[in-house]
Amino acid sequence: MSGGAQILVGTPGRTIDLLERGVLSLNTLTWFVLDEADEMLNMGFVQDIERIMEALPPARQTALFSATMPSAIARLVKKYLKTPVTVEISTAGSTPKRIQQQAYLVPNHVSKEESLLLLLELESPTSAIVFVRTKDNASRVAAMLQQAGYSVDEYHGNLTQVQREALIRRFRNQQVKLLVATDIAARGLDVDSVTHVFNLDLPDDLERYVHRIGRTGRAGREGTAITFITTRERYKLRHLEQHTKQAMETLPLPKLAQIQARRIARFEEQLQAALSGERLASFLPLVARLSEDYDPQAIAAAAMQLSFYANRSEAAEQTVMDILSRQAESRPQNRERRDGDGSPAPPAADGGRSACYGWAWGWAPTGFFVSQR
């Protein structure tokens, strides 16, 4: 900067530091651009942004780019911009076709966190992001997954920039398999190896859902987005389908037989890959020696058993078995709707979907460009 620069790109904290040390002067600035404005404010940079904007010269062009228009941004616009023009870029609300979307219905006797454990065992993701609403939930879910034996860390606004960058580097290098994150990770987190996104809770602004699941299926790959809903949240799912213009498959939680079948199928794929690999020949002498005392099929079965259970977490296995046992013991609740005289009521006009749920979900607009002359 000492030699002069036409464009300066900086974080709020670093920009303020340079201003306070007298290294940076904004007296001749003609353009000020704030990108991802809503995310900046969600990350707690409101005061920093205002501090920078107060140091700007009056004669300037200001542009704020934001995917949503929360009240905090509206206040910034009103306070610091003159005769602003708002340009809204609406999207079709559609999601990429290469992402398979599924919703799992969570019964009353199982929590969403426990349901997540079942789906992790069923899907066995290479790399996944679990989205939650709050920082406290991120910490709680991450601790639960760690206790169950998973490689996991949490990603939210309480982390410093240095901590976030270090964590993303570990996640990209697959040193961390699962990331439990708030919506701070819904945009700008680009890791091509993410195979799954799990929505433990749906966001209030459903455009954020589109951003969330866009963390998978990147670089031409296919991805899977799984959302957990309770019976009371079915109406949210209908809104989500309307917003994305795509029907979403709704499934019950997997049973033990389904999980075991999926495990065996994955294991068979690994065996087939190993049989065509170059390293197989190094084990043939050992097989020949063992064949003198044991049947070849028994040797193969013993090797499969060792390999199948070698990388399994006993803690995760026990947790899943506990959940499945409770699921098996729980009897379905056959609660018929009754009229006042106690007789069964006729089916609801909407096919059984009661109208008792509220429809008070409002979506924030999808994109804004705010500019001032």
What is the average per-residue pLDDT within 283-309?
85
What is the distance between the alpha carbons of residues 67 and 209, in angstroms, rounded to a whole number? 12
Highest mean pLDDT among 171-180, 264-273, 293-302, 340-349: 171-180
pLDDT at site 83: 84
Q: What is the pTM of this model?
A: 0.63
> Is the per-residue pLDDT at 154 higher than 80?
yes
Question: SS3 for 129?
Answer: strand
Which residues sit opposite 62 in a β-bridge? Answer: 32, 372
Range scoring the smallest mean pLDDT among 13-22, 147-156, 258-267, 346-355 = 346-355
DSSP 33: E
Q: What is the mean pLDDT of residues 222-249?
A: 88
Instruction: Give the per-residue pLDDT at 242.
Output: 85
Contact 62, 362 (CB under 8 A): no
> Cα–Cα distance between 91 and 113 in angstroms, integer?
32
Q: Which comes out higher in pLDDT, residue 266 or 138?
A: 138
Does residue 98 carry a pLDDT above 90?
A: no
pLDDT band at 181 (very low <50, low <70, confident <90, very high): very high
Q: What percent of the chain is modeled with pLDDT above 90?
A: 25
Mean pLDDT of 16-32: 90
Residue 203 — very low, low, confident or very high, per pLDDT cuts 50/70/90? confident
Nearest to 211 by CA among 34, 91, 370: 91
CA–CA distance, 303 with 193 (Å, rounded to integer)? 30
Confidence band of 270 (pLDDT split at 50, 70, 90): confident
Amino acid at 83: T
pLDDT of residue 32: 92
Q: Which of 2-6, 60-64, 88-92, 365-369 has the highest mean pLDDT?
A: 60-64
Strand order in the sheet with 99-105: 152-155, 178-181, 128-131, 196-199, 223-229, 99-105, 249-252
Which structure tokens are listed for 184?
Answer: 């701070």
Question: Tokens standing for 365?
Answer: 């607009």
Please report the DSSP string for 325-367 in residue order. HHHHHPPP-----B-TTSSBPPPPTTSS--TTS-----PPPS-
| 30-34, 70-74, 123-127, 310-314: least confidently modelled range | 310-314
pLDDT of residue 266: 85
- The continuous run of DSSP H or E covering 26 comes out as none
The single-letter code of the amino acid at 96 is P
**Burial call 100-129: b when 16+ CB within 10 Å, e when fewer:** bbebbbbeeebbbbbbbbbbbbbbebebbb
DSSP letters of 72-121? HHHHHHHHH-SS-EEEE--------TTEEEEEEEPPTTS-HHHHHHHHHH
What mean pLDDT do residues 2-19 have?
A: 86
| pLDDT reading at 301 higher than 80 | yes
Least confident of 68-82, 180-194, 271-285: 68-82
Q: What is the C-alpha separation between 138 and 142, in angstroms, rounded? A: 6
Q: Return the pLDDT at 356.
A: 33
| pLDDT reported for residue 38 | 73
Residues 306, 237 contacting (CB under 8 angstroms) = no
Contacting residues for 81 by C-beta, under 8 A, at least 6 apart = 62, 370, 372
Backbone angles phi, psi at 154, to 5 degrees: -110, 145
Residue 307 has pLDDT above 90, yes or no: no
pLDDT digits 0-9 by tens, 336-354: 444 444 444 444 444 443 3
Residue 97 has pLDDT above 50, yes or no: yes
At residue 229, does pLDDT exceed 80? yes
Across the range 44-67, mean pLDDT stands at 85
